[in-house]
Chain A
Amino acid sequence: EAGVAQSPRYKIIEKRQSVAFWCNPISGHATLYWYQQILGQGPKLLIQFQNNGVVDDSQLPKDRFSAERLKGVDSTLKIQPAKLEDSAVYLCASSLETSGGGSEQFFGPGTRLTVL
């Protein structure tokens, strides 16, 4: 079974530029998560989708971050304009989520963003 795919793996931009990350979850997984992981810290949830609808985006800085999940499959996360403090690894995860309870989340390898 293929895992969660993310691209690009690395990105370097200058502050005030724009950047987009792409995620392809495991086939059939209804729930998709984007996490931000700053160096030395654990991942922090940015946004959660259930199929193509947003479940939780309370921690997404909406003045500069946006995300979408078209057709309930792939997702993109965009930052416009980027700030120095956005330097981090952006992780995408997906889960099957059955009605019986929570299921494990499968994470992609992440995109490491460096803002200069």
Chain B
Amino acid sequence: DAKTTQPPSMDCAEGRAANLPCNHSTISGNEYVYWYRQIHSQGPQYIIHGLKNNETNEMASLIITEDRKSSTLILPHATLRDTAVYYCIVRVHQAGTALIFGKGTTLSVSS
């Protein structure tokens, strides 16, 4: 079973920041937080991952709380193309470890 809890849906206005929360209160010390997203009729796409420090790449920022029990994925300027299901996954950072998906959060970006 998935070790994360996410809200089923969220809305965001185009151009605004989208903040997607995730709870992972049972995360272990060697587990990372990964985010993937799935646009309609496509396979999931990797976004970002982190252990305890905040991370940023060209797609998004990941903020992990100090106790590591929750995190927030931030899309700084959401566009219509960011409408997708976003999955927060806790995973050991080890070669050959499969992903365990929950139901994710459906983000709807509107103009």
- Give chain A's interface residues, CB within 8 Å of chain B: 4, 31, 33, 40-45, 48, 50, 55-56, 91, 93, 97-110
Specify which of B49, B97, B101 is in contact with A44 (CB 8 Å cutoff): B101
A-B contact count (CB 8 A): 63
For the complex formed, measure the closest distance between the CB of A41 and the CB atoms of chain B, giving whole angstroms: 6
- Contact status A45-B99, CB under 8 Å: yes
Give the chain A neighbours of B2 by CB distance below 8 A.
42
Cross-chain contact of A102 among B85, B87, B91, B100 (Cβ < 8 A): B91
Interface size class on chain B is 20 to 34
A91 to chain B, nearest CB (A): 5
Residues of B contacting A31 in the complex (Cβ-Cβ under 8 angstroms): 95-96
Asked if B44 contacts A41 (CB within 8 A), the reply is no
20 residue pairs bridging A and B, Cβ less than 8 Å apart = A31-B96, A42-B2, A42-B85, A42-B102, A42-B104, A44-B101, A45-B98, A48-B96, A91-B43, A93-B44, A98-B95, A101-B94, A102-B32, A102-B91, A102-B95, A102-B96, A104-B46, A105-B46, A105-B99, A108-B43
Interface residues of B in 70-89 (CB under 8 A from A): 85, 87
Given A42-B102, A48-B98, A107-B44, list of 9 further CB < 8 A pairs?
Answer: A42-B103, A45-B99, A101-B93, A101-B95, A104-B46, A105-B46, A107-B43, A107-B45, A110-B43
Residues of B within 8 A of A109 (CB): 41-43
- In the assembly, what is the distance between CA of A55 and CA of B98, in Å? 10
What chain B residues lie within 8 Å of A93 (beta carbons)?
43-44
B43 and A102: CB pair below 8 A?
no
- How distant is B47 from chain A, measured CB to nearest CB, in Å? 9
| Complex Cα–Cα for A39 and B101 (A) | 13
Look across to chain A and name the residue whose beta carbon is closest to the beta carbon of B42. Answer: A109
Interface-central residue, A40, A93, A98, A105, by most chain B CB under 10 Å = A105
Q: Which residues of B contact A107 (CB under 8 A)?
A: 42-45
CB contacts (< 8 Å) of B85 on chain A: these are 42
